[in-house]
Structure 1
């Protein structure tokens, strides 16, 4: 069942009651994104959060040279949104696009706000998520600055082996902060 994954995810925080989780689940809508379809586009205001059931999404922005810079890849059992846009109700500067066919559960911001008004546990949950996102961002920055590309690729292989081969080379190289040619050389060092 599609709701089992989100239920386990929410339960893992040990913040919300079964009643609170079930209220959340009732507000979710199911959506399937085709490869290359967008969850969120630059210039739009993001008013929803998605929980990824299968597939993967990439978050990217366009550089001054009009290059697409992939800075985040979201895998199953994770939440995704254009976070600053979601919080501020301002247009986003990022794009969130399906790398492959991706199945998600979506909650609208207005529904989430109802939950927050009804119960302070949701405020604590959001605080916990925000803290986790900050820690992940910090790890990513340190990883890019301290580790070489081989170690970054090895780490991704260790944590997401089933998806690494499905991500197009140009997105993966951008995410790792290297050229496609360099990534091709690194991949030859790993046996699948």
Structure 2
């Protein structure tokens, strides 16, 4: 899986990809296991082989707010903590049993020092993260909850049914009751 993902960037030779893959550590997580806790410094990035993840924070009022989902063939990290070295303001949790490939920050730093290709790859991934964040902001400000749900259905139809309703409702910024209404109205 990660091999195909890396090949899609047309940056690395097959030999370079094989060398890169060897630098990742396989990790298995159970449902509800935490990849990163709020308040901890993130020093690793993971590629999701199998499983679903959510990023969430606890509001001042103590409410659990899901703001991001991650699916297979995507990277997960507390990026702001990873970049700045400051404690994470988010939690990343497996919401199903999961298998990930983990790489440490110091390994990534060494790679970027020795390889312009790796630096280019990191730049592209950072740009993708920015665009995803911008899209999320625009969706929240511009689109209705129904349209945000439809977008998620279009982009992740295989996985959306596996997302617990309370996390999906939180992600959409609505109640579970409102989500049930939207689900009954929207059919694919």
Relative to the length of structure 1, the TM-score reads 0.94
Query: Cα offset for 1:153?
Result: 0.6
> C-alpha offsets along residues 48-104 of structure 1, whole Å, 9 cap, x if unaligned?
111001111000111111111111000110011000111111110100000111111
Rounded Cα–Cα distance in structure 1 between residues aligned with 2:187 and 2:64: 29
> C-alpha offsets along residues 118-137 of structure 1, whole Å, 9 cap, x if unaligned?
21111111111111110111
**Residue aligned with 1:128, SS:** helix
Q: Which runs of 5+ in 2 are unaligned?
A: none
Rounded Cα–Cα distance in structure 1 between residues aligned with 2:155 and 2:85: 33
> C-alpha offsets along residues 144-174 of structure 1, whole Å, 9 cap, x if unaligned?
1111111111111111111111111110011
How do 1:56-95 residues align onto structure 2 when only pairs under 5 Å count?
A: 56-95=52-91
Query: Among residues 149, 154, 170, which one is paired with 2:150 in the alignment?
Result: 154
Query: Cα offset for 1:16?
Result: 2.2
Rounded Cα–Cα distance in structure 2 between residues aligned with 1:180 and 1:130: 33
How do 1:173-188 residues align onto structure 2 when only pairs under 5 Å count?
A: 173-188=169-184
Rounded Cα–Cα distance in structure 2 between residues aligned with 1:128 and 1:49: 15
Relative to the length of structure 2, the TM-score reads 0.96
The alignment yields a C-alpha RMSD, in angstroms, of 1.1
> C-alpha offsets along residues 11-31 of structure 1, whole Å, 9 cap, x if unaligned?
111122323222210111111
Query: Cα offset for 1:177?
Result: 1.2
Rounded Cα–Cα distance in structure 1 between residues aligned with 2:133 and 2:63: 21
Rounded Cα–Cα distance in structure 1 between residues aligned with 2:146 and 2:90: 27
Rounded Cα–Cα distance in structure 2 between residues aligned with 1:138 and 1:190: 25
Query: Cα offset for 1:111?
Result: 1.3
Query: Cα offset for 1:190?
Result: 3.2
Rounded Cα–Cα distance in structure 2 between residues aligned with 1:15 and 1:67: 43
Aligned to 1:166: 162
Rounded Cα–Cα distance in structure 2 between residues aligned with 1:44 and 1:23: 30
